[in-house]
Amino acid sequence: MCQLLGMNCNVPTDICFSFEGFQARGGKTDIHADGWGIGFYEGDGSRLFIDTKPSCESAVAELVRNYPIHSLNTIAHIRKATHGEISLKNTHPFQRELWGNYWVFAHNGELKDFNPVLSGQFQPVGDTDSELAFCYLMDRLSQRFPSARPTLRQIYAVLAETSKKIARHGMFNFLLSDGTIFFAHCSTNLHYTIRKAPFKKAHLVDEDVSVDFAEVTTPNDIVTVIASVPLTDNEEWTKFTEGELILFKGGLPMFD
């Protein structure tokens, strides 16, 4: 199966440390070698980098790892193909516009007998069940609120309801952001860790690399990292419960 990596923060933050460990899982320390991608926001704009090569040997991944990414919201994905050929059109993350914002989505899992009726506003370009599910989520939001952006609780309610329906067809772990808020849904495996003062040193599982966050942060910084499998071996990671949808904003869960 694929793996997910996400980050939500209260200040623009560098994801390079987490991405270094995640990149290794794309064909070096794990089997997810059928392409990779990352999407992150800079103001109201977004950048997407995708490649069909394994992330461990991708020149594009090396560019991203050394790129000074500082973003409030980031979503990355390494792929083990189950639906659709290995091609750029089937490589996560996917992006669509809704209510004047770019929405970025990545999925881990497999959906069977999933054939939703779409209105036509959002259509898949590729052949994956993942992009189809994304279009269906966007379709349900736009159909429920066609003229204006609703409240966060209203968005959450529609996503929770729709995610539950989709998850009946199989495994539906996903990350979704519009650059201001960040949603994470778990069917099976998804974990998060919150980094805030007092900051400590972290060590990657997949590479012998450490960083002392006390040296590269301020006392007010709050950073949540979400991953299919924990990326570090000396931090506390919280596992999502089955069927759980969490909305993160400013580096913290909302609606507790």
Q: Which positions are annotated as active-site residues?
A: 2
How far is 54 from 124, CA to CA, in rounded Å?
A: 23
Distance CA 216, CA 109 (A): 35
Q: Are 30 and 20 in contact (CB under 8 A)?
A: no
Cβ distance 238 to 191 under 8 Å?
A: yes
Please identify which residue in the block is written with the tokens 């959002």. 122
Long-range contacts from 30-33, C-beta under 8 angstroms, 24+ separation? 30/3, 30/78, 30/206, 31/80, 32/2, 32/3, 32/78, 32/79, 32/80, 33/80
